[in-house]
Amino acid sequence: MGGHLVLVGGGHAHMVTLSKIHEFVSRGHRVTVIGPSEYHYYSGMGPGMLSQIYSPEEIRFATKHVVEKQGGTFILGKVTRIDPGSRRVYVSDSDSSLSYDIISFNAGSFVPRDPITRGEPDMYSAKPIERLLEAQQSILALCGEKKVTVGVVGGGAAAVELAGNAWRLMTRTEGHRHRVVLFTGNDILERFPEKVRRAGRRSLIRRGIRIHENSYVAGVSTGESGLQSGETFPVDVIFWAVGVTPSEIFIRSNLPVGPDGGLRVNECLQCTAYPEIFGGGDCIYFEPRPLEKVGVYAVRENPVLCHNLMASLEGGPLTPFDPGGDYLLIFNMGDGTGIFYKKGILLGGRLAFRIKDYIDRRFMRKFQALE
């Protein structure tokens, strides 16, 4: 008799497993996927959706359809906690739960919003990606009425891409001169090589995007953003891109976590305390070597996680995950150009964006073909 595999989330680290649900089912196992949406949006193309380079249909996977087409079960909802002792997972805010033999988490991460202090500002975090479509509609509506200022809080890749793509969106409207302001707590693109930082700063400044570096935002309210220095800036829409925090499921479930709150896993992507629990992507803390919260690691985890889930169901040997070496950086700057960097090689301009666009579309075609 087969076992019951539960997948929490349909993100990048579960893509290969999702594509092979039919193999699990054909070997007598049950597969249940729990997700907050029937679709999963690809974060690498999210800023491009904001600026209308891509449509929502071009950047999402039909998770529910893919699961059910292969004989799996899809449950729409959010996992709030699990009881590892009884091997039960609880969905949403109700008492409904289901049992599992093996469970894997690709529950993603969220952007903390602590500095919101008063009012109801038009504020959008970098995640979930689908909210960028709501932000797009809000910006376009405002641009039809007045001069609009969009503020972006954060200095990393997500913030820079959102600033550039918000600029593109607003330049496509008529009648008013709009502006984008970027507030960074430290230097822009601080964790990247100096040549990448220079290229990113130059791209934004060239288009008139104002950059306030080393400017910590202390509070956000309707119509304004306040800095720790006491300065205030009028803003109509705010994007909050100050980094991500792993899902809180693991802390609520009294599971072992890393310093960031992510599920602590060993070299086989297996919970260090409960061998029947696995995880990948932004929601884990990889004990052998802490990993950055970038999609490339989730993609690299795919085949290892899929193999280890099947092996755990059937008593086979597990395979360790090797994070690999340097990875390719490509940013979509929103004006038809990109920033490409790997192993000291920097490439900017339209060719860099075309490379990113090709890689992203190829990735989407591969998994959308399952639909």
For the chain, the domains span 4-36+77-110+244-325, 122-242
Q: Give CATH superfamily name and number for 4-36+77-110+244-325.
A: FAD/NAD(P)-binding domain (3.50.50.60)
For residue 43, report the phi and psi dihedrals to the nearest 5 degrees. -65, -30
For residue 326, report the phi and psi dihedrals to the nearest 5 degrees. -55, 150
- pLDDT per residue of the chain (371 residues) written in tens, 0 to 9: 799 999 999 988 999 999 999 999 999 999 999 999 999 999 999 999 999 999 999 999 999 999 999 999 999 999 999 999 999 999 985 667 899 999 999 987 666 655 554 445 577 887 888 889 999 999 999 998 889 999 999 899 999 999 999 999 999 887 668 899 999 988 999 989 999 999 999 999 999 999 998 877 767 766 667 776 767 778 889 898 887 677 889 999 999 999 989 999 999 999 999 999 999 998 999 999 989 888 889 999 999 999 999 999 999 999 999 998 888 999 999 999 999 999 999 999 999 999 999 999 999 998 888 87
The edge-to-edge listing of strands for the beta sheet with 73-76 is 73-76, 30-35, 4-8, 102-105, 277-279
Could you tell me the end-to-end alpha-carbon distance of the chain, in angstroms, rounded to an integer? 29
16 in Cβ contact with 106 (< 8 Å): no
List, for residues 148-186, the tens digit of each pLDDT value: 999 999 899 999 999 999 999 999 887 668 899 999 988
Which helix (H) or strand (E) element contains residue 358?
Answer: helix 350-368
Show the CA angle centred on residue 110, arms to residues 108 and 113, nearest 5°. Answer: 175
Same fold for the domain at 4-36+77-110+244-325 and the one at 122-242?
yes
- The beta-carbon contacts of 189-195 under 8 Å, at least 24 apart in sequence, are 189/155, 189/156, 189/157, 189/160, 190/155, 190/156, 191/156, 192/157, 192/329, 192/341, 193/341, 193/344, 195/341, 195/346
Q: State whether residue 33 is helix, strand or coil.
A: strand
Q: Which CATH number fits domain 122-242: 3.50.50.60, 3.20.20.70, 1.50.10.10, 1.10.150.80?
A: 3.50.50.60
List, for residues 310-332, the tens digit of each pLDDT value: 999 999 999 999 998 888 999 99
Q: What string of DSSP letters covers 74-135?
A: EEES-EEEEETTTTEEEETTSS-EEE-SEEEE---EE---TTB-SS--EEEES-STTHHHHH
* Displacement of CA 324 from its chain's centroid (Å): 20
